[in-house]
Amino acid sequence: MASTAVPGDGPAGRGLLPVPPALREVLPDGGLRRGAAVSVAGGDTGLLLALAAGVKETEGGWAAAVGLPELGLAAAEGYGLDLRRLLVADDPGPHWAEVVSVLAGAVELVMLRPDGPVAPKLAARLAAVLRRSGCVLLVAGPWPGAVLRLGVRSGRWFGLGDGYGQLAGRQVEVVAEGRGSAVRGRTARLWLPDEHGAVRPVREPQALEHPVLDHLAPDRPVTAHPVTAGPRATGPRPLEQAAVV
Amino acid sequence: MSSTSGTSGARGTNSTSGTSGTTEDADRTPRVLVVWCPDWPVVAVTGDDPVAVTEGGRILACSAGARAAGVRQGQRLKLAQRLCPALELRDRDPEAETRRFEPVVAAVEAFTPRVEVIRPGLCAIPVKGPGRYFGGEEALAAKVGTAVAEALARRPVPDAVPGAEPVPEPAPTPTPTPTPTAPEPAAEPPTAPAPAPEPPTAHVGVADGLFAAVLAARAGVLVPQGRTAEFLAPYPVGALGDEALAELLGRLGLPTVGAFAALPPEAVADRFGPVGTVAHRLARGLQPRPLVPRDQEPDLAVEQRFDPPEPLAEPLVFVARTLAERLHQRLAGAGLTCRRVAVEVVCADGRAASRLWRHEGRLSATALAERVRWQLQAWQGAGTFAASVSGEGGGFTLLRLAPDGLSPDQGRQLALWGQAVADDRVERAVARVQAVLGHAGLRRIEPSGGRGPGEQAVKVPWGEPYEAAAPADAPWPGRLPDVWPAVVLRDPAPVRVLDGAGLPVTVDGRAGVSARPVLVVFQGREERVEGWTGPWPAVEYWWDQALARRRARFQVVVGGGRALLLTVEGGAWYLEAGYD
């Protein structure tokens, strides 16, 4: 019933669901095509959340998370999700497909981790529901018939030394593969997340030459790193806190 | 919570305040009798003694043995288990609570049909009619107490509810003979032979107005007419049930209900608005809202007839949702809110049952429909309709929701619920999902405060109001920095952290780390540590022995460029979250 309810903007407004600017270049259409299923291979939660953050740009749009009880809500907020417009169904169990098809009629985007492997027939049925409603389905894991498959390659965390520093960001290479116009693999090098917990493109290509491993060398000063020298350097120092105790 | 400082002994000493209110209000607050069964969620689940019922990761109620070990309401599970290792944890089962409360309600119903169930474990009746009939308030209270104690002493019949999960009953004891008229139900000695479990107790209290009567029941006293304000005076302002107001009053130097009640009503209305006025009226032993005489009470009841009669309860539940929505629309259209809702069911053979549920403008349509479902299951469990429904040509013919105690809506809902306004589409979808997954199956997010990644937000069942326990914008020394983990484990998983010599890494009381961590062993897999930092000590509730918790958090990067958040507590390491 609700799945037949087309969102108010109608077929004309059915183009794309916006994504944060940093992710635009990696997506063939520059956004998430409404009514499509996108698979985040490997289930990288950070990428999943970053992709979902664009829902905020739509007018009063809601998002839903189905079967993702371990979603870091604070991280989701960092990426730009509006938690006040997020519905969570932690344990849908075998009812996940029913829940997704009902929610698809009401929200702009559903994040999903299905309860086990998905039969192609079921995926096709849900695809029809999604097309009708214009809702985007982001699946953590494989999905039969996904329009687009996104993955994270060579993730590397920055900011930690040998007993000092704090996590200040992760550099990843996001890879997109898809059907049709997006048949060629696209890649983008991103901070996912950056030091503020959001997503942004990597500007200094040489940054990758200083991975965390190098920090273990005691002669390399940590301030040489572009990220730790950033605005977060004034954040809470773990050992100072310890002295108070 | 159930501080018994307001018993009759304390009443005599505190005569300075509380007498101011009752003079100017002509409307006499009706006398109310409340029956309170302590720890009802625990009674309903029936486990061995140190048992506790949990909801949302915290202790909701616990048995006497657990309480003796230091377990308290609102505690975190981990802490409770540490305090009482033998503690058995059960999930809350509201349906079982309603079902097991049914005999109690039936016993009270023998005195007056106007029984109001506030929640399972707590119900109220007006004293006015039955009080006169049964020979005064005291006689009525004693009779109700005896009847309830008898109802509680009977073992519950094994479940016969279709579709409801069976309640695990320990060793089905043969029905013990009802305790021969216990005169003091509150302090019933365990005279029964040793193996028979002690029957749950009930307390009876009488006072002016429901709010005071609930407190009177907790204290187990009968407050004489017109002296309710005196009875309430020693209670802390927190008892009024408005946390924000209580905190503010505390800071203004008004720690007790009596001190608050002594303020002039106009000043309270000026300073605190409608919410404050309601609390102030409660503090003075008055009705929360003055009764507004109306020319004619509009009939806002909604009903659905079934023809042919419906033999199953499930379709009624679906109808209840639509009815509840319609009822709320009609109430909103008239600008009214109701204090109670009566759920009425009629069967083909003319049998009928009706039960009042507390509403106060707080329940959403979904929550109201949920209560209808609990009620129907409870009636089925008690066999109320067994003969009417199963027989040939039997079934339900009518479901009716009737609002009761109408008063003008002062916009309480908006003030209470800070949630984003959901449009119809979302509300409808939510209702459908909740029909599939249950009321708590779909939740929304409210910001919260804390140091760890799992404490930054809480999930609240859609349709329930939420009052924040910990403010999000308060300073949280020892809070983690801004980059938050994308995956937060529901239950921290035990890990081992080893140093270069293969020995476990320890953290001492001054947050000193024994050695540089080199290996993290998680589920038998060894990961080399490539970078680490910490500890971030989080010392919580050090002023409260029962709640105190010391933890230290570490950020660790392990092989393959993955970052983890590790916690060390009581010498053991846990994986709390992963930065994905």
pLDDT tens digits, residue range B236-295? Answer: 888 888 788 888 888 888 888 988 988 888 888 888 877 888 888 888 888 776 655 444
Residue A19: CB atoms within 10 A of its CB come to: 23
Query: Is the model's pLDDT at B27 over the cut of 60?
Result: no
Token pair for B422: 């959901």
Query: Is the model's pLDDT at B24 over the cut of 50?
Result: no
Residues of chain B numbered 416-475 and touching chain A (CB < 8 Å): 419-420, 422-423, 425-426, 428-430, 432-433, 436-437, 441-445, 447, 453, 456-457, 459, 462
- Indicate which of B482, B507, B520, B529 best probes the interface with A, i.e. most A CBs within 10 Å of its own CB: B482
Does the structure's ipTM exceed the value 0.85?
A: no
Q: What percent of chain A lies above the pLDDT cut of 90? A: 34
Distance from CA of B172 to the nearest CA of A (A): 33
Predicted confidence band of residue A13 (pLDDT cuts 50, 70, 90): very low
Please give the average per-residue pLDDT across B427-447, as a whole number. 77
Name the residue in chain A with its Cα closest to that of B431. Answer: A102
Query: Is the model's pLDDT at B505 over the cut of 70?
Result: yes
- Of the segments A149-163, B146-160, B356-370, which one has the largest average pLDDT value? A149-163
Please give the average per-residue pLDDT across B451-458, as a whole number. 83
Query: Is the model's pLDDT at B370 over the cut of 90?
Result: no
This prediction's pTM: 0.52
Residues of chain B numbered 368-427 and touching chain A (CB < 8 Å): 419-420, 422-423, 425-426
Report which of A89, A68, A101 is spatially closest to residue B461, judged by C-alpha positions.
A89
Report which of B233, B278, B196 is spatially closest to residue B17, judged by C-alpha positions.
B233
The pLDDT value recorded for residue A66 is 95
Residue B388 backbone class (left: φ over 0; alpha: ψ -120 to 50; beta: rest): alpha
Query: Which tens digit of pLDDT belongs to each residue from A197-228?
Result: 888 888 755 444 444 444 444 444 433 333 33
Q: Which of A26-40, A129-143, A182-196, B416-430 has the lowest mean pLDDT?
A: B416-430
Decide if B563 and A163 are in contact by the 8 Å CB cutoff.
no
Predicted confidence band of residue A37 (pLDDT cuts 50, 70, 90): very high
Establish, for the pair of chains A and B, how many residue pairs have beta carbons separated by less than 8 Å: 203
The pLDDT value recorded for residue A231 is 39
Decide if B516 and A162 are in contact by the 8 Å CB cutoff.
yes
Decide if A78 and B422 are in contact by the 8 Å CB cutoff.
no
The pLDDT value recorded for residue A122 is 93
Please give the average per-residue pLDDT across B469-478, as a whole number. 73
- Indicate which of A40, A157, A240 best probes the interface with B, i.e. most B CBs within 10 Å of its own CB: A157
From the list A83, A169, A213, the residue facing B483 with the nearest CB is A169
Query: Is the model's pLDDT at B376 over the cut of 90?
Result: no
Please give the Cα distance from A165 to A215 (Å, whole number).
10
Decide if B511 and A167 are in contact by the 8 Å CB cutoff.
no
Residue A134 backbone class (left: φ over 0; alpha: ψ -120 to 50; beta: rest): left
The pLDDT value recorded for residue A111 is 95
Please give the average per-residue pLDDT across B540-551, as a whole number. 78
Is the bond preceding residue B308 a cis peptide, omega within 30 degrees?
Answer: yes
Q: Which residues of B touch A77 (CB under 8 A)?
A: 456-457, 484
Name the residue in chain A with its Cα closest to that of B561. Answer: A156
* DSSP secondary structure string for all residues of B161-200: -TTSPPP--SS----PPPPS--S-GGG----S-TTSPPPP
Query: Is the model's pLDDT at A138 over the cut of 90?
Result: yes
- Selected residue with higher pLDDT from B180 and B276: B276
Query: Is the model's pLDDT at B350 over the cut of 80?
Result: no
Q: Which of B148-157, B270-279, B324-333 has the lowest mean pLDDT?
A: B148-157
Please give the Cα distance from B476 to B532 (Å, whole number).
22
The pLDDT value recorded for residue A36 is 92
Q: Which amino acid is at B169?
A: E
Decide if A74 and B483 are in contact by the 8 Å CB cutoff.
no
Decide if B510 and A196 are in contact by the 8 Å CB cutoff.
no
The pLDDT value recorded for residue B412 is 43
Please give the average per-residue pLDDT across B123-136, as a whole number. 86
State the Cα torsion B467-B472-B477-B483 to the nearest 10°: 130
From the list A88, A162, A235, the residue facing B481 with the nearest CB is A235
Query: Which tens digit of pLDDT belongs to each residue from A74-129?
Result: 999 999 998 888 999 999 988 899 899 989 988 999 999 998 889 999 999 999 99
Decide if B510 and A72 are in contact by the 8 Å CB cutoff.
no
Please give the average per-residue pLDDT across B430-459, as a whole number. 80
The pLDDT value recorded for residue A38 is 93
**Bridge partners of B572?**
B569
The pLDDT value recorded for residue B15 is 37
Please give the average per-residue pLDDT across B540-558, as a whole number. 83
Predicted confidence band of residue A181 (pLDDT cuts 50, 70, 90): low
From the list A89, A155, A161, the residue facing B561 with the nearest CB is A155
